[in-house]
Structure 1
Amino acid sequence: MDYDRQTSNTTYRIIYVIAAIMVIVGAFFRLQHYPNGPSISMIGYILGMVTIIFDRIRLKRKNENLEEQLKQKE
C-alpha cells in the first residue's frame, strides 16, 4: 500500500513538472516568435489542470477514507 502511494505521488509530480516545462518552453517560443509557441503553452496548461484535478480527486478520496477510519475507531 505504501509503495502504491509513493508511486502515485511520484507520477503526479513528474507529470506536473512536464506540464510546467511545456509552459515555460511555450512562453520562450512565443517571445522568440517561433511557430507553435501558443500550442505548446496551451498543452502545458491543460496537462497541468488535468493533473491537478486528478490529484485533488485522489486526495479527496484519501481524506474520506481516513475520516471513515477515524469514525470507526470512536
Structure 2
Amino acid sequence: MNAPQVSPIGGLPSRGFAEPHQNKQQAAPKNDALVQIRCSKAAAKEVKRAAVEAEMTISEFMLVCFHAYMKR
C-alpha cells in the first residue's frame, strides 16, 4: 500500500493565470508597419543572382535582407 504524498498548501505554486495590468497593455507600442524596400530592377537582379549562386534558402535570403536593412 502506498500512502498519498501530502504537501503543505503554502508550499505549492499558485494556480491559475495572472491577468496583466491594464496600464501595461495600453503602454505597449504596436509596430504593425510593414518593412518595404524599393530598389532598381538591376539591383534586384544582382541580389537574386547572388542568392542563386550561393544556393540560399528563402529563409536565409530573407534573414540576410533583414540584417542589411537594419544596418542602414
TM-score range, shorter chain: under 0.3
Larger RCO (CA within 8 A; separation ≥ 6): 1
TM-score, normalising length from structure 2?
0.23
TM-score, normalising length from structure 1?
0.22
Asked which structure has the greater CA Rg, the reply is: 2
